Amino acid sequence: MDNAAHENETEGLSTLYRDVVMDHYRTPRGRAEVAAPDVSRDGANPLCGDEITVAVKFDGDRIGKMQVKGRGCSISMASGSMMAELLQGRTLEDARKTAAAFRGLMHGDPWPAGLEQGDLDALEGVRKFPVRVKCAMLPWTTLEEALEAHEKGEVCVGKDHSLAEHAAPKPAGVPVTYAATPEHEAAHDGLPPAPGKEQVMDALREVRDPEIHQNLVDLGLIYSVDVDEQARRVTVRMTLTTPYCPFGTSMVEEAKNAVLGVGGVKDADVQLVWEPVWDPKTMAADHVKDMLGIWE
């Protein structure tokens, strides 16, 4: 990625913040098992298939030990890691206040003065991507439910508080490797006519977002396709659901390979852009909106 594109990407979202988020995603805190927790709770977010379990052992009115474990997208996992780090040893009242403050932050409120924020400021940029706010909030709503369950005298609501089911590492994004078929090779040799936009779009439908499991076209991530018929060169402008996407570079590569695989294409230029910000409400296909289940 060149410098100009990089500056674009970090608009409103500093590189430092991105690094903090990725650090929490790659090296999550609070994973250590809590023996005999007082309460545990499972949470899920169908958008990315995020699954999380929050288990707490209390120490009087404080959080003695907290385990946040699960699998899911970078934002949900980073948010859970930051939560575990920040709330360790804090009072239950602080925990509730922090959860409320984080919800406020995701909806544009300033962080309350005097309340410790830890690394959570690094997630502030997520509020520009409304669909992903659910991911950021998942650990917090799960914690709130756990604390509420505990208040009501419920114990270990989680279906498996040994958390063994979460022990398996998250599979890496399913790589979509495009292999040119012999037909395509032959087509290149015979210099077929440049493809139409629809042929390019069909090829891009073969590339999926590894976090949301839908193809780039139906998600509305492809902003434009231009075919230079003379040069047989295709230029694609695309975005990602969030600049935090850890698979961003590979998705751009996959898109490029897919375009290069279309008969008649000699060259492909896939540009990653961040304006306008992706908004599935207006950009995604209807079945994707239904799948996201967020339009009620």
Q: Which residues bind Zn ion (CB under 5 A)?
A: 48, 50, 73, 76, 135
Q: How far is the CB of 176 from Zn ion (least distance, A)?
A: 20
Q: DSSP secondary structure string, 17-68?
A: HHHHHHHHHHS-SS-SPPSS-SEEEEEEETTTTEEEEEEEEEETTEEEEEEE
Cα distance between residue 283 and residue 221, in whole Å: 8
Q: How far is the CB of 138 from Zn ion (least distance, A)?
A: 7
Pairing mode of beta strands 50-59, 39-45 = antiparallel
Q: How far is the CB of 247 from Zn ion (least distance, A)?
A: 13
Phi-psi region of 33 (alpha: psi -120 to 50; beta: other; left: phi over 0): beta
Q: How far is the CB of 142 from Zn ion (least distance, A)?
A: 13
Q: Which is nearer to Zn ion, 57 or 213 (CB)?
A: 213
Yes or no: say if 251 and 84 are a contact pair by the CB < 8 Å rule: no
Q: Which is nearer to Zn ion, 103 or 188 (CB)?
A: 103
Q: How far is the CB of 110 from Zn ion (least distance, A)?
A: 25
Yes or no: say if 81 and 29 are a contact pair by the CB < 8 Å rule: yes
> How far is CA 198 from each of CA 35, 166, 238, 261, 269, rounded to the nearest angstrom?
56, 41, 16, 14, 17
Cα distance between residue 238 and residue 215, in whole Å: 12
Distant-in-sequence, close-in-space partners of 143: CB < 8 Å, separation ≥ 6: 41, 54, 56, 83, 87, 95, 99
Q: Which is nearer to Zn ion, 123 or 268 (CB)?
A: 123
Q: Which is nearer to Zn ion, 79 or 199 (CB)?
A: 79
Q: Which is nearer to Zn ion, 67 or 76 (CB)?
A: 76
Handedness of CA 245, 17, 2, 196 (dihedral sign): positive
Question: How many CA atoms lie less than 13 Å away from 290 in the CB half-sphere?
Answer: 3
Q: How far is the CB of 204 from Zn ion (least distance, A)?
A: 23
Q: How far is the CB of 217 from Zn ion (least distance, A)?
A: 21
Q: Which is nearer to Zn ion, 84 or 133 (CB)?
A: 133
Yes or no: say if 68 and 83 are a contact pair by the CB < 8 Å rule: yes
Q: Which is nearer to Zn ion, 44 or 176 (CB)?
A: 44
Q: Which is nearer to Zn ion, 55 or 135 (CB)?
A: 135
Q: How far is the CB of 79 from Zn ion (least distance, A)?
A: 9
Cα distance between residue 93 and residue 6, in whole Å: 40
